[in-house]
Amino acid sequence: MPTVKITSEVSTEQLLHSVANLPANDLEAFVAKVLTLRAKLKAPSIPTTEVQLLTHINQGLPAQEQKRWTQLEQKRQEETLTPEEHQELLKLNDQLEQLNVVRMQALTKLAFIRQISITTLMQNLGIRTPDYA
């Protein structure tokens, strides 16, 4: 990565002028680092425990499995599932159920940490209750 020569005191304009001379790839990398720095300065710091809980709350099936579940669920509603597909759907439903258990445990712990109700936490995070619940 090329270096930019600066003095100990440099104005914003001088810095921008130096950055403007960077090759396109280096400029992109620089901008990404500046945006990361800005995000760290603006965003409140979230404790590691909360980050882990939020990760569990937001975890779903991998994209391929979610797509397959949607296909199988549609076939179930159309009553065209084969016995093998039915077993596959049951297996995926078990995985979804386990993910939901982990999700509810994480929601409960995070609500306790933040000292708010689960309902309030879900509203704060933009999580809706399923229509069937």
Q: Model confidence over 11-68: pLDDT tens digits?
A: 888 888 888 888 878 887 887 788 777 767 776 778 889 989 999 998 888 889 999 9
Both 68 and 120 in one domain: the answer is yes
Axis-axis angle for helices 63-77, 83-114 (nearest 10)? 120
- Which residues constitute the domain of residue 72? 48-125
**10/82 Cα distance (integer angstroms):** 71
Average pLDDT for 93-112 = 95
* 18 and 58 fall within a common domain: no
Confirm whether 67 is domain-assigned: yes
Residue 131 covered by a domain = no
Domain count, the chain: 2
